[in-house]
Amino acid sequence: MTGRLVPPDFLWGAATSAFQSEGGLDVDGRGTSVWDVFAQRPGAIEDGADGSRACDSYRRWREDVALLAELGLGAYRFSVGWSRIVPEGTGRVEPRGLDHYERLVDALLAAGIEPVLTLNHWDMPQALMAAGGWAARDTAAAFAELTTAVAGRLADRVSWWVTQNEPWIVSLLGYQLGLHAPGVTDLRAAVAAGHHMLLAHGLGADVLHQYRGTRVGVALSLFPCEPASPSEDDAAAAWGSDGYVNRWYLDPLLAGGYPDDMRAHWERAVGPLDVVRDGDEAAIGGRSDFLGVNYYTRRVMAAAEAGDGRPFPWRVVPPREEVERTDAGWEVAPRSFGDLLTRLARDYPGTPLLVTENGGVFGDGPTHDGRVHDTRRTAFLRGHVAAMAEAMDAGADVRGYLHWSLLDNFEWAMGYRPRFGLVHVDYATGRRTVKDSGRYLAQVARTGGLPPVPGIAPFG
C-alpha cells in the first residue's frame, strides 16, 4: 500500500498529556492534583515514581514543538493541567497557567501545527475530592468552570477540543479497582463517576459551542469485544462486555441515551441508577462534533458466572491462536482497529472520527549509532494505519490519526518503564532522540503513502 491513503487535509500528528509529560508540579501557582497525592501512596506507582519531572515539558515545550515541526506533523494533541488553571478546583483562576498554554498554542500555530486541546486528561485538582471527585455531581459544574476559563483565552485559536479522556478507564481504574488516582474501590461510585464525566462533557460542550468554529468531542478508550468461540454464550458475553466498555459511553453521546441492556446489568449490580437524573441524557447527547477514538487492543470474551470482583457474567481470556504482543503483553490487533472504525461508521452514522490515541509499548533504546531502531513500533504503526485506510475506503469518516505518544513519558501506575514514544526520552537528562518510528510517521505524513518497513512484515 504505497498510494495516497487519505485526503490532503488529513491530520497526522502525535499526542501527550500534561501530567505525563510536563513535570514542574510546584511552579506558577499550580495546585495539587489527585495524581500528586496518589503517587505518594506506598506501592501505588511502580518503582515509587511520580510526575515531578516527567519529560520536563513545562520548561522544554519549545523543544517539543520543534520536534513536531521537524517531523512535519500537522497536529498535536496535548492537555491542559486542570490544577494549573483552577488550583482549588473551583473559584480562582491562575493566569500563569493560562499564559503557558497560550504560548504553546501560539507556537504550534506559528509552526503550522493544529492544536488538539484536551481539557481533562485525568489530573483533576485534589480539592475536588473533598466532595467525592467524579463520584460527586458538583464536579461536572467545576469542569464547566475550567472550560470557561480555557475557552475564554484560547477558543479564538483552537478549533479541536476534547473534553474528557477515557471516562471508562477513570471509572474502572480510578473508582472501581483503585489502581489509578484517586484510588477509590466502590462500584457504585464508579458508575457515578462515568456518568458525571459525560455530564461534564455536555456542560463543557455548551460553553465551547458559544465560540464560532469550535469542534468538540470525547476521547473514548474503545475495545472491540470478540467472542472466544462460536458459542452463543460467548457471543452474549462479548455483547455484554461491549455494553460495559463501549456502548455505555457511545450511546448517550451519539445515540440518545444509555443502552437498556447495560442499565439492567448495572441495576442488578449496584441498585437503582438514581445518579442518572431526568434530563441528564438530553444534556449529554447531541453535543459531539466528532468522536475521539483511543485504540490499543481488543478484548476476547468468554461467558463466566458473575461473582466476587466480577459484577457481570463475562471474563477476558487469551486468544486461542498465537498472536503478536507489545512489551506490555497487549495483543497487536490492527484488523480489530479497522473493524472498530467501520463499526462506528455503521452504528453512529454522520459522526466524524478522530483517532486521538493509538500506540504500543516497545522498549527499544539508543544503540551504538545513537539512533533508536524500534522496528516493531514502526511495523505496528504501519499495520494500524493500513487498517485505518481500509476502513476509510469502506466509508469511515476519519479526519486524523494522532499517535500515542510523541514522547516516552510517565505511564501512570506503571511509572517510567513502558515506552510509548515516537521520541526517546533520557529521563536523567531530558534529552530527546527521534526514533525510527517517528521518522517513519514523518514520511507517511509527508507523502500520504505507506512505505514498507525494511526487513519486517507489518503486523496483521
Q: Looking at the annotation, which residues are catalytic?
A: 166, 357
From residue 94, how far is each of 28, 31, 72, 99 by CA, in Å?
8, 9, 33, 9
CA 343/CA 348 separation, integer angstroms: 8
Q: Where are the beta strands (DSSP E) in 107-240?
A: 114-120, 160-165, 215-221, 225-227
Which residue in this structure is represented by grid cell 470525547? 218
Cis ω on the peptide bond leading into residue 405 (within 30° of 0)? Answer: yes
Do 436 and 451 form a contact (C-beta atoms < 8 A)? no
And the C-alpha cell for 56?
520536563
And the C-alpha cell for 456?
519486517
CA 9/CA 7 separation, integer angstroms: 6
CA 101/CA 136 separation, integer angstroms: 28
Distance of CA 69 to the CA centre of its chain: 23
CA 33/CA 381 separation, integer angstroms: 33
CA 83/CA 95 separation, integer angstroms: 12
Listed in sequence order, the DSSP H helices in 209-288 are: 232-242, 248-254, 260-270, 280-284
Q: How big, in percent rounded to 5, are the helix, strand and coil portions of the chain?
A: 40, 15, 40
The CA radius of gyration of the chain, in Å to the nearest whole number, is 21
For the CA atoms of 161, 163, 165, 168, what is the dihedral angle to 10 degrees? -140
And the C-alpha cell for 219?
476521547
Angle ∠(413,440,399) on CA atoms, nearest 5: 75
